[in-house]
Structure 1
Amino acid sequence: MDTNIFIYREDDTNVSPDISNLMKILSQTHTDVLLHPGSLDDINRDKDQKRKEKILSKVKAYPILQNAPIPNEKDDFFQKIGEPKRINDKIDNLILYSVYKNAVGFLITNDFKIHSKAQKIDISERVLYPDEAIEYFKKDLPSTFEISKPIPLLKGYVSDLDINDPLFDSLKKDYEFNKWFTKIAQQGRECFYSKKSDGKLGAIMIYKFEEEPIASIPPYPSQKRLKIATLKVSHEGHKIGELLLKTAFKIAAENNLSEIYLTHFTEAEDKLVLLISQFGFKHAGIIPQNKNEDVFIKKLHPAAEESKKLTPLEISEDFYPSFYDGDKVGKFVIPIRPEYHNRLFTDFYIAGNRQATITEIEGEFIVEGNTIKKAYLTNSGIQKLNLGDIILFYRSGDLKAITSLGIIDDVFYSLSDSEEIQKIIGKRSVYSKNEIESSQKPLTIILFRHHLNIKNPVKLSELINSEILKSHPQSIQQIDDKKFIKFKKLGEINECFTVH
C-alpha cells in the first residue's frame, strides 16, 4: 500500500471513512497489507515534523515488505517508464517495480503518476485506487459484513444538478461555467451522472448532438457528431468514467454517428486524457480562440484504406464499438451460466428479450459488469483463441440464446495457480478469490472487450435450424464465416459497425 492514501489536508487528524472501510475489508478478507521500505524513507524526509509524526502514527501498524526487489537498470521496466526526475519519482518507481516483479499481488495508491506508469508497463489491472480496492476485495467478504454500495448511473437533466456541487469547482476556473451551465439547464440538456454516498456528485457526462464544423486548428467540416460537453469523475474506483464513455459510444451507435469529440484543457498529469486514450480518442487540434483548448476526436469506424493497415485488435481498440469480422479472425461460441452472465453483462435485460436502458437496471451496481474491458474464466481445453477473435456468449439455462459479442484482448491457457489467475484478471474480475480458488483447474483466462449486446438474441432453436450449431453448446465451439454471417442477420447486428 502506498502511504499517499493516508495523506490528506494538514488539518486532517483522522483517516477518511473510505480508507477506514478499506482497512476493515482487507482485515476481514485476511489480506496481507505491506508498506515498501522506500515509502518510509519518503515520509522521514518530510521537513514538517508535525505532519511527519501524524503520518508515521497512521502507518506504523503495517509490516514492511522484506527483500523488496533490487532494481536491475537493464530491465525493460526502466526503459518504458523513463528516468525519474525527482527523488519522489525514484521511490514511486521502486514501489511499482515490486508489483512488476511479483513481490506483491496488488498496489493500492492514489498517485495518478503511478497509475499512468502502470499502464505503460501493462500492469494497470493490478494497481488500484482505494475505491477500486474496496470493489475488488469486497467480493470475498463474509455474507454478514455490511458495506455501502455505489449509486448506479442515472439519466437526468442538467437542471436536476446543483451548480455549487464540488465536482464543478475546477471547471469554473477555465471559462464562464456558471453562465454556460444556466443556459444549457434552461435548454433542457440531458446528462448522465452518479452520486457518492454523501449525496455529492461522483461523476457527470453532459452531451449534445452537433452538425456544425469544429473551429479548431486544423478545422473539421460540418458533420453529425456527438459532443461530450463535460466529462468529469471525482470518485475513482467504480470505473464510472469507463461506464460513461460506454454510454456515449452507445448513444452514438444508436444514432448512426461516426464521430464523438470533446474539448479539454490538458494538464501535466491528466486523468481524463489517460482514460479516453484507452478507447480511441486522439488529439486532433487546438481551439486558439479559447486559450488553445485541446480537441480530442474518436472515430467510430475506420476508412476503408485505413482499416487495411490495422490489425483486428487495433480496430477494436481504436474504433470501438466497431470491430473486424472478416476471415482473419476466428469466431467462437462460449456457453455461460445465467448467474455469471448477469454479473458480466449487467446492461442486458432478459425480460422480453430486450436490452435495458440505464435507468431500468436495478439491484447491486456491479462495477465490472458495467465496463467495456472484462474477463471470463473457463475450463475449456480449446487452445485456438487468438487476439482479435470474436466471441459470442451463449446464455444457457433460462434464455438459451446468444446474447453478447466481444473481441479478445488477450488469452492465457492452462493456469492452475490461483494467485497468478488473480493477478492476470485484476480489476476486470467479477469472480471472488474464493470462487477462483475453489474452481476446477486448469483454467483459461479470456480478457476481452464487450462490444455489444445482440439486438435480437438468437435462440437455440434458430441456431440449430440455421445450421449454425448442431445442439446446445457445452463448451467453446468455433463456427466458420458462413455461419457467422447467418448469425449476424438473425441477431440484427448493425453492419455500420463491422469491418470486413
Structure 2
Amino acid sequence: MELELKKFRDVNLQDVFFDSLKEAYQEFSEWFNRKADDSAYVFEQGDGSVQGFLYLKVEFDSVLDIDPPLPPGRRLKVGTMKVNPHGTKMGERFIKKIIDHAIREQTEQVYVTVFAHHEALIDLFWRYGFEQIGTKTTDNGVELVLAKRIHAPYSDMYKGYPLVKLGSNKAFMLSLYPEWHTRLLPDSILRNEHNDIVQDISSANSIHKVYLTKMAGVDTLRKGDLLVIYRTSDNQGPAHYRSVATSIGVVEEYRNINSFASKEEFFRYCRPYSVFTNAELEQFWRRGNYPFVFKFMYNLAFKRKVTRACLIEELGLEANQYWGFFQISHGQLKAIANKGMVDESLIVD
C-alpha cells in the first residue's frame, strides 16, 4: 500500500471509509462529486479499500467563514484529512506531506478545521506547531481552526518542523545502504527505484526514524545535531555518480544498546520507527554487534540528489576519507542543501 495522488473521480466514494465523513458533514457527498477533476493523496489496500485520504488546496482570498476571518493571502487549506489508525504512523506521513506541499507551493500559512472530539488528530497537529486561531460554525457544528506558519520563530525541533537549526549543533554525513534508505525515507526515493518497495509500515510513514549501526563516531551524536543522509551506490554504475546525498535530518536522541534495561524496552523504542524486522532486532539485541542506536527526524528531502562527484569535485569534500560517517561544517551543509535545491530559508542560524 502506497500513498498515491488520485483524481476524486477515481476514488470510491461508497467505500465505508467515507461513512464517518458523510455523517459529520451533510454536504460531503455533493462536495466530493463536485471535485471530480481535483486530486487528493490516497492510501489504498491491495483490494482497493481506502485507508487514508488527504485533500489540499491553495487559497488566495479572504477566509470569511471562520471567526475571526483571515485576510487575503496565499495559504494552504487542509480540505479533508482522515486516516484509519492501524499503528503505522500514517498520520505523521500526512503531516509531512502537508508541510512539503506548503513549501512547494510557497504558502507561508497552513490551516485546517477539526471538531474538538478528534483529540488524537488535534494532538498530532499541535505537536508539529499548529495553534488554534479561531473557530468555524456551520450547520454541522463548531470546529476548531488550527494553523501553522512555516517560518514561525524557532521554538523547538518539533513545533519548528521542518526547519533545521544550526546554532551550536554539529553536522555530519551519514551513509545508508540502498535497501534501508528508501524504506526509511520514502520521500527521498530515486527516480530509478520502484514505489512498491515503500511499504505501509511505521518506519516509512513516520517523521521520526530509529537506526542502528556500528560505524565509528556515531556515538558522538547529540540532540539537535544535523545529518545529511547519503545513499550509497546500488552497484548499477560507478559509485562516483550512483552514491548521492538525498535529505537532511535532525538528531532527537542517541543511546547505546546497553542502556536498555531489557529486550522489551529495546523493542518498544526501536520497532515503531526502524526498518528492521523483529527477527533482525532480536539478533541485534542478542549479539550486540550494532551498539549505536539513534532517533532522528526526517526534515528536508532534496529536490535534486547530490552525487558523490559533486560533493567531491564541486563542494570540496575529501574523497579518501571514510564515507560511512564524518563531520562536515555548517557551510558545507548549506552548500549541499543548495545543490539539492532546498529552500535556504528552511535552514536557520
The root-mean-square deviation of aligned C-alpha atoms, in Å, is 2.5
Compute the displacement of 1:320 (Å).
Answer: 2.2
Distance 2:3 2:341 in 1: 27
CA-to-aligned-CA distance 1:292-333 (integer Å, 9 cap, x gap): 32101122122xxx33xx2xxx1x311322221x33211011
Amino acid at match of 1:323: V
Which residue is 2:129 aligned to? 280
Q: 1:448 to 1:463 in 2, by over 3 A?
A: same
User: Any gaps of 5 or more consecutive residues in structure 1?
Assistant: 1-150
Give the superposition deviation at 1:209: 1.1
Question: Would you say the 8 A contact 1:335–1:473 is kept in 2?
Answer: no
Whole-angstrom CA distance in 1 between matches of 2:247 and 2:182:
12
Aligned pair 1:482/2:327, yes or no? no
Q: Which has the higher strand share?
A: 2
| Partner of residue 379 from structure 1, selected from 208, 211, 214 | 214
Partner of 2:238: none
What corresponds to 1:441 in structure 2? 289
Normalising by structure 2, what TM-score?
0.85
Deviation at 1:227, TM superposition (A): 0.9
Q: 1:350 to 1:292 in 2, by over 3 A?
A: closer
Task: Tell whether 2:53 aligns with 1:218.
Answer: no
Amino acid at match of 2:276: Y
In 2, Cα distance between equivalents of 1:179 and 1:452: 37
Kindly report which structure 2 residues correspond to 1:373-452, keeping only aligned pairs within 5 A, or say none: 373-382=208-217, 383-398=219-234, 399-413=242-256, 415=258, 419=263, 420-439=265-284, 440-441=288-289, 443-452=291-300
Larger radius of gyration: 1
Structure 2 CA distance for partners of 1:350 and 1:174, relative to 1, 3 Å: closer
Q: Who is 1:245 aligned against? A: 95
Instruction: Determine the structure 2 residue equivalent to 1:362.
Output: 196
| Higher RCO, Cα 8 Å, sep 6+ | 2
2:75 counterpart of 1:232: no
User: How far off its partner does 1:170 sit?
Assistant: 2.0
* 8 A contact 1:299–1:319 mirrored in 2: no
Residues 432/231 of structure 1: CA separation in 2 closer, same or farther (3 Å cut):
same
Matched residue type, 1:369: A
d(CA) in 1 for partners of 2:225, 2:197: 32
Kindly provide the CA deviation profile for residues 66-121 of structure 1, in whole angstroms up to 9, marking residues without a partner as x: xxxxxxxxxxxxxxxxxxxxxxxxxxxxxxxxxxxxxxxxxxxxxxxxxxxxxxxx
For 2:151, what is the secondary structure of its paired residue? coil
CA shift, 1:221, in A, is: 1.7
Q: How many residues align?
A: 331
Q: For residues 172 and 397 of structure 1, what CA distance do their matches in structure 2 show?
A: 48
Write the distance in 1 (CA, Å) between the matches of 2:5 and 2:97. Answer: 10
Partners of 1:258 and 1:388 lie apart in 2 by: 24
Distance 1:395 1:162, change over 3 A: closer
Tell whether the 8 Å contact from 1:262 to 1:296 is kept in structure 2 after alignment: yes
Distance 1:173 1:365 in 2: 31
1:238 is displaced (CA, Å) by 3.0
**Would the alpha carbon gap of residues 411 and 346 (structure 1) be closer, same or farther in structure 2, given more than 3 Å must change?**
same
Contact 1:206-1:228 within 8 A present in 2 as well = yes
State whether structure 2 residue 160 is matched by structure 1 residue 319.
yes
Paired with 2:330 and 2:186, the residues of 1 have a C-alpha distance of 29
One-letter amino acid matched to 2:32: F
Normalising by structure 1, we get a TM-score of: 0.61
Name the SS of the counterpart of 2:159 in structure 1.
helix
Tell me the amino acid that sits aligned with residue 178 of structure 2.
P
